[in-house]
Amino acid sequence: MPSTPIIDYTNKDYQSLRQAMLALAHHRLPEWTDQSPADLGMVLVDLFAYMGDVVLYYQDRIANESFLQTAVERRSVLNALRLVGYGLAPPTAASAELTLFFKPPTLGGATIVTVPGGAQFTSVATAEIGPQIFEYLGADLDIDLASDQVVPTANGKLAYIGLPVMQSAVQPTAVIGSSTGEPNQSFALPSTPVILDTLVVEVNEGAGWVTWRRVDSLLYETASDGGLTLSRAEDRDYYVEFDEADIARVCFGDGTYGRVPPTATNNIRATWHVGGGSAGNVPANTITTLKTAVPRLAAVSNPAAAAGGTDHEDINHAKSFGPLAFRSGQRAVTLNDYVALAQQAGGVAKVRASAPTWNTIELYVAPAGDVATTVPEALRRRLIAYFEDKRMAGTFVEILDATYIPIDVGIEIVYDKRYQMAAVRQAAEAAVQGLLAFANVDFGRPLYLSDVYGTVEAVAGVTAMTVTRFRRGDSPTTQFTDQEIAAAAAFLPIQPQGRQIDVAALLRRAIQIDVAQDGRIILQDFEIPVLGGLTVDLLEAAQ
């Protein structure tokens, strides 16, 4: 009789299970020799192998999803990090500053115009995204057209500079549920993504609608003095949770931590604004349409691109920063604490921290967006407020703009004449632009000449290339006149050796090649490279 087959516990797929069962059957039932597909025994073996494959697949998935580092589903990562008090960041709304252009007031006419709170503006639609709505969320703003609040422009208009707006659209007050009187009730908000700072929840307690207070958690809430407090049984508190689909749920207490809403029908309602996502990071000069009437307003524009809009937090980012945030205990002490917490705040793409003095923390921030831009004032204020209950007593937090360093690139390409020159040029420009795109660079990361060569040489139609310029745009350059080049060429010990050589042209060509020493551009800790000048010259390849 053959020896008992050894069980290999790593064999978990259909074919391995089938072979293992046939080997065991050969050992236990040597008289079973008909193993044709039509045999009933083979049918049963195939069925058990199939079911075993399915069961073992889910067994492995459950095991993987139980641990943070091996989980691949957003719901699993969210639930794992929720155990340590870390919530995956929902989408955040982009913000921008608008310039309003007014017609001058008529002689003897009113000079005060009012921009109402909630005034809406829209951006121009593109092929990728539709028009985005931006709202002015402040109080009614009075602008005196006869004062220094406005500045005259060349075309005779009066410009008011710096109206803060946010990608946002108010939702009508909506009933979100009926309380059953049970503890730990939760109600979903039907429109997403929700801008939390605009959420107002009201409960009809019988005598009328009462506004309840939003807290981070019913088990702990940061008090004004920096301490932690519990929601008591009589406190009208609620908190908001986001699920894996970014749907916000308003969660109430259990009667011990936080009051339970009284039993009634349709007695819980909410008002909120929706907005958020990278779609709100619209380019400069695209917010040009006014949806709310403002007297004497002739035009509107955003001089700089909108910034700060982010999609929901990626699970890979959460896996990296969730444990860091847990170790920080929502307290910013070390520089790493400030970086980890700033990444949680939303609207931040890249951040570095420094401590120039013992009680000052400087955060260099690059806001989220498709292009490098300065920190919008709304995001700056939000970050300062965000660290107010996390910084050490006596420590001052400053939010500074990242230093953007323009990189000048010039390339000379020899292209295959079987390709169109314009197509090769466009592809080469896109390749360099992608290499220095905002998403692909970071603070202090050096740039290498070899990356430019590798990126452009991969473009279809490029047979050879030379990088003629690869330098920081803020570094000095030296210009030489033709007379200086000719004088220098006369002293060069170049022998023609039977052929004519234009030494001056050769020297001029060498001078024109302006490439960083060692083929590397060094950046300081708080500098981010951006593409400055880019020139692409093309030469047709010789036969």
- Residue pair 185/261 in contact (Cβ under 8 Å)? The answer is yes
- As a whole number of angstroms, the distance between CA 191 and CA 248 comes to 9
204 shares its domain with 264: yes
For residue range 117-141, list pLDDT tens digits in order: 999 999 998 878 889 999 998 899 9
439 shares its domain with 529: yes
Is 75 within a domain? no
> Which of 375, 401, 427 lies at the terminal end of a domain, its last residue?
401
- Residue pair 424/538 in contact (Cβ under 8 Å)? The answer is yes
- As a whole number of angstroms, the distance between CA 260 and CA 291 comes to 41
Count of residues for the chain? 543
- Residue pair 282/123 in contact (Cβ under 8 Å)? The answer is yes
The least confident of 53-67, 238-252, 302-316, 513-527 is: 513-527
Q: How far is CA 415 from CA 426, 455, 456, in A?
A: 12, 15, 11
Q: Assign residue 378 the CATH number of its domain.
A: 3.30.300
Give the pLDDT confidence score for residue 223 in this predicted structure: 60
CA quadruple 416, 418, 420, 426: dihedral, nearest 10: -40
Tokens of 85: 């008090």
Is 8 within a domain? no
pLDDT band at 274 (very low <50, low <70, confident <90, very high): very high
Task: State which residues form the domain around 35.
Answer: 14-65
With a pLDDT cut of 70, the percent of the chain lying above it is 89
48 shares its domain with 188: no
Tokens of 438: 């905002």
Using only C-alpha atoms, the chain has a radius of gyration, in whole angstroms, of 33
The percent of the chain in helix, strand and coil, each rounded to the nearest 5, is 25, 30, 45
* Identity of the amino acid at 140: D
- Residue pair 313/325 in contact (Cβ under 8 Å)? The answer is no
Q: Is the pLDDT of residue 82 over 80?
A: yes
- As a whole number of angstroms, the distance between CA 99 and CA 82 comes to 42
Q: Going by C-beta distance under 8 Å and a sequence separation of 6 or more, which residues neighbour residue 435?
A: 451, 452, 455
Is 374 within a domain? yes
Quickly tell me which residue has 């969210």 as its tokens.
78
pLDDT band at 227 (very low <50, low <70, confident <90, very high): low
Q: What is the 3-state secondary structure (H, E, C) of 499-521?
A: CCCCHHHHHHHHHHCEECHHHEE
Residue 336, CB half-sphere, CA atoms under 13 Å: how many? 10
Nearest alpha-carbon partner for 2 in 31, 27, 23: 27
59 shares its domain with 117: no
24 shares its domain with 107: no
Arithmetic mean of pLDDT, 499-526? 69
426 shares its domain with 520: yes
* Identity of the amino acid at 224: S
332 shares its domain with 396: yes
149 shares its domain with 287: yes
Give the pLDDT confidence score for residue 241 in this predicted structure: 92
Q: How far is CA 54 from CA 8, 17, 192, 331, 392, in A?
A: 18, 11, 36, 46, 53
Give the pLDDT confidence score for residue 74 in this predicted structure: 93
Q: Going by C-beta distance under 8 Å and a sequence separation of 6 or more, which residues neighbour residue 372?
A: 366, 402, 404, 438, 528, 530
| Comparison of pLDDT for 225 and 111, the residue scoring more | 111
- Residue pair 517/446 in contact (Cβ under 8 Å)? The answer is no
327 shares its domain with 377: yes
Nearest alpha-carbon partner for 269 in 341, 187, 155, 184: 187
Give the pLDDT confidence score for residue 202 in this predicted structure: 96
Arithmetic mean of pLDDT, 461-490? 75
In three-state secondary structure terms, 344 is helix
CA quadruple 159, 163, 167, 171: dihedral, nearest 10: -110
For residue range 134-177, list pLDDT tens digits in order: 999 889 999 999 999 999 999 999 999 999 999 999 999 999 99
190 shares its domain with 256: yes
239 shares its domain with 139: no
Is 88 within a domain? no
- As a whole number of angstroms, the distance between CA 24 and CA 20 comes to 6
Is 309 within a domain? no
For residue range 382-420, list pLDDT tens digits in order: 899 889 888 998 999 999 999 999 999 999 999 998 999
Q: How far is CA 409 from CA 445, 455, 530, 537, 538, in A?
A: 17, 13, 11, 11, 14
- Residue pair 174/190 in contact (Cβ under 8 Å)? The answer is yes
Kind and range of the H or E run holding 312: none
> Which of 401, 432, 448 lies at the terminal end of a domain, its last residue?
401
Tokens of 453: 């060569």
Is 5 within a domain? no
Number of domains in the chain: 5
| Mean pLDDT over the full length of the chain | 87
- As a whole number of angstroms, the distance between CA 125 and CA 286 comes to 9
| Comparison of pLDDT for 11 and 412, the residue scoring more | 412
- Residue pair 343/314 in contact (Cβ under 8 Å)? The answer is no
Is 161 within a domain? yes
411 shares its domain with 295: no
Is 296 within a domain? yes
The verdict on pTM exceeding 0.85 is no
Nearest alpha-carbon partner for 98 in 233, 335, 297: 297
